[in-house]
């Protein structure tokens, strides 16, 4: 009994001393944080998606306040957020170009042919170990939803064996892209209107036509009607250059397989806290080069 009591007391004393050491170390090595960092963090969407190139919003805020780098923008927040960040930091931020995920496949269960009926783990990577693809098109969406769990914003779904992307929910973090074994998902610049060739088949048109009624057959009709030289054929598949595309829609009218689609997006950035956009800089008058905190 005595030995047990001594052991308990010894453990208690050791724990107490360790706590004192930790407390001393926290006081000794504490580093004061610039209050502007907290201000910037409160303005950010809080998605922690990494689209800005930093691990999360807190790290983005620290680097932005420290370096005052105008090229360090938040694609999720958009231009409104960039303007507000530049205002409190006293710099002119570069334009934020939001990105969005798109699916380069339109071969659903109804429009494409399958190699075999798959019965196994509902995972695209697992199915890929057995055969090049469940569909005869080895470049298409496998439709088992490996990408779904990576999206915490509900922007992805599987319908009729094909991944669907809700562009108004997608924040452009790119987390889903690495989860697709066939590289069907791709990040592109988000615009109010955008035309997309929903196919990435590299087979010749005659071959593609045999296994997918919605696959690009590289007929070149879209290229011929485009007055803006925005379309070209690469690896037997049409590709649209967003920088040149005028969104006239002529390519959609002539496409015989209907693989060119018009995508429309709400261009508003991710909402921040109510009133945050017009809120003056709190508690940062001494740190603000433009004295905006005093206004």
Q: Of residues 205 and 78, which shows the higher confidence score?
A: 205
CB 141 within 8 A of CB 105: yes
Q: Of residues 77 and 293, which shows the higher confidence score?
A: 77
Banded pLDDT at 203 (limits 50, 70, 90) = very high
Please determine, for residue 279, whether its predicted confidence score (pLDDT) is greater than 50: no
Chain centroid to CA 77: 12
Q: Give the dihedral sign, CA 45/192/94/245.
A: positive
- Domains in the chain (CATH in brackets) are 35-98+270-294 (1.10.15.40), 99-264 (3.30.70.20)
Banded pLDDT at 287 (limits 50, 70, 90) = very low
At residue 283, the pLDDT reads 39
**Mean local confidence (pLDDT), 195-218:** 95
Indicate left, alpha or beta for 265 from its phi (over 0: left) and psi (-120 to 50: alpha).
beta
**Mean local confidence (pLDDT), 97-116:** 90
Mean pLDDT score of the chain: 84
How far is 230 from 242, CA to CA, in rounded Å? 7
Q: Of residues 133 and 67, which shows the higher confidence score?
A: 67
Direct distance between the N- and C-terminal alpha carbons of the chain, in angstroms, rounded to an integer: 70
Banded pLDDT at 12 (limits 50, 70, 90) = confident
At residue 280, the pLDDT reads 41
Is the model's pTM score more than 0.75? no
Which class for 147: exposed (0-12), middle (13-18), buried (19 or more C-beta within 10 A)?
buried
Cα dihedral value 176, 103, 153, 272, nearest 10: 110
Q: Give the dihedral sign, CA 234/116/178/184.
A: positive
Percent of the chain with pLDDT over 90: 44
Which class for 209: exposed (0-12), middle (13-18), buried (19 or more C-beta within 10 A)?
middle
């Amino acid at each position: 009994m005595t030995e047990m009591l001594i052991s308990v007391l010894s453990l208690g004393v050791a724990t107490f001393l360790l706590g004192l050491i930790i407390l001393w170390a926290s006081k000794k090595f504490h580093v004061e944080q610039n209050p502007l960092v907290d201000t910037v963090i409160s303005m950010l969407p809080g998605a922690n998606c990494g689209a800005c190139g930093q691990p999360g919003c807190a790290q983005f805020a620290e680097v932005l306040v420290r370096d005052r780098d105008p090229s360090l923008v938040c694609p999720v927040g958009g231009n409104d957020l960039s303007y507000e960040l530049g205002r409190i930091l006293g710099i002119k931020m570069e334009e934020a170009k939001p990105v969005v995920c798109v699916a380069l496949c339109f071969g659903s269960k109804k429009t494409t042919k399958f190699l075999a009926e798959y019965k196994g783990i509902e995972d695209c990577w697992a199915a890929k170990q057995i055969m090049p693809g469940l569909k005869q098109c080895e470049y298409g969406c496998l439709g088992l939803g490996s990408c779904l769990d990576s999206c915490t914003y509900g922007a992805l779904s599987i319908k009729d064996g094909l991944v669907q992307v809700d562009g108004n929910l997608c924040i452009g973090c790119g987390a889903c892209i690495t989860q697709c074994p066939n590289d069907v998902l791709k990040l592109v610049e988000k615009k109010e209107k955008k035309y997309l060739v929903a196919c990435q088949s590299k087979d010749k048109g005659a071959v593609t036509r045999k296994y997918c009624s919605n696959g690009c057959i590289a007929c070149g009709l879209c290229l011929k009607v485009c007055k803006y030289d925005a379309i070209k054929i690469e690896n037997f598949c049409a590709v649209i250059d967003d920088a040149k595309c005028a969104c006239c829609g002529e390519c959609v009218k002539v496409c015989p397989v209907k693989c060119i689609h018009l995508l429309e997006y709400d261009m508003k950035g991710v909402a921040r806290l109510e009133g945050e956009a017009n809120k003056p800089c709190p508690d940062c008058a001494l740190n603000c080069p433009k004295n905006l905190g005093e206004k």
